[in-house]
A and B are shown apart, each in its own frame.
Chain A
Amino acid sequence: GENVEQHPSTLSVQEGDSAVIKCTYSDSASNYFPWYKQELGKRPQLIIDIRSNVGEKKDQRIAVTLNKTAKHFSLHITETQPEDSAVYFCAASKVWSGGSNYKLTFGKGTLLTVNP
């Protein structure tokens, strides 16, 4: 089955700096890669996702890059703010194919702390 590794497990940055979180996946058939943000005691919420036919996607201060050959993808947050502090999870899934199973396989998470 799919295995997703996520690094680092904790990341501390100063407000205004950039933060990068990296994930690798094992199943070359995975084609959908969402990122979720989970604040303490709250539900995971999707912040950005990318399909395997796209190399990069941006949404304001957040961007995700995907390298299918190397089977890794990264989350980039620029101009970090204290409210960005949370646990971030990457995930991988197989969708839109004959072998779709839709379940998400998550990484172990990265605790991001943005210091004012």
Chain B
Amino acid sequence: DTGVSQNPRHKITKRGQNVTFRCDPISEHNRLYWYRQTLGQGPEFLTYFQNEAQLEKSRLLSDRFSAERPKGSFSTLEIQRTEQGDSAMYLCASSLGGTRRSYNEQFFGPGTRLTVL
């Protein structure tokens, strides 16, 4: 499978615990995005990487959230001291980058569903 992959697919945790999610983008894609989707809503932008540089963070991304993309390949999203309001689907997407229209299409992964009890 050459698409975007995410692990784990499901995570149940207790309030106050830390969780970490992983995203593996399509191999030649230099841009990587994290979105959060709650029930009945569209995905909301969290943060964006070009190669290993984190270029933008949403106001939604509180200090408890941190994302990394070492070596410009896979990315991790960590949530510290989880709260019930963090329960959502966390989606990762990647794109090739560049000036051609087709390079900007964002391909989504299957998501990690987080449930905070």
A and B are partners in one complex rather than unrelated chains? yes
The smallest C-beta distance from A27 to any residue of chain B, in angstroms, reads 14
Assembly CA distance A107 to B44 (angstroms): 9
Question: Which of A13-21, A66-74, A78-86, A96-104 lies at the interface with chain B?
Answer: A96-104
Q: Are B40 and A108 in contact (CB under 8 A)?
A: yes
* Chain B residues within 8 Å of A89, by CB: 42-43
**Number of contacts between A and B (CB, 8 Å)?**
60
CA of A45 to CA of B111, assembled, Å? 13
Chain B CB within 8 A of A51 CB: yes
Nearest B residue to A109, CB-CB: B42
Q: Given A103-B33, A103-B56, A105-B45, do A45 and B40 touch, yes or no (CB 8 Å)?
A: no
Q: Which residues of A lie under 8 Å from residue B84 when comparing CB positions? A: none
Contact residues in B for A42 (Cβ distance below 8 Å)? 110
B105 contacts A51, C-beta separation under 8 Å: no
Choice from B4, B41, B104, B111 contacting A102 with Cβ under 8 Å: B104
Min CB distance A94 to B, Å, is: 10
A32 to B44, CA, bound (A): 17
Interface centre among B35, B41, B106, B107 (most CB of A within 10 A): B106
**Is A43 an interface residue, CB under 8 A from the partner?**
yes
State whether B106 touches A32 (Cβ < 8 A). Answer: no
A44 within 8 A of partner (CB)? yes
- Determine if B101 is an interface residue (Cβ-Cβ < 8 Å): yes
- Tell me whether A91 is interfacial, beta carbon within 8 Å: yes
Interface string of B70-113 (1 = CB under 8 A from A): 00000000000000000000010001000101001111111100
Give me the interface of B with A, judged by CB distance under 8 Å: 4, 31, 33, 35, 40-45, 48, 55-56, 91, 95, 99, 101, 104-111
Q: List 12 A-B contacts (CB under 8 A).
A: A6-B42, A32-B101, A34-B105, A43-B4, A43-B110, A44-B91, A89-B42, A102-B33, A102-B95, A104-B35, A107-B42, A109-B42
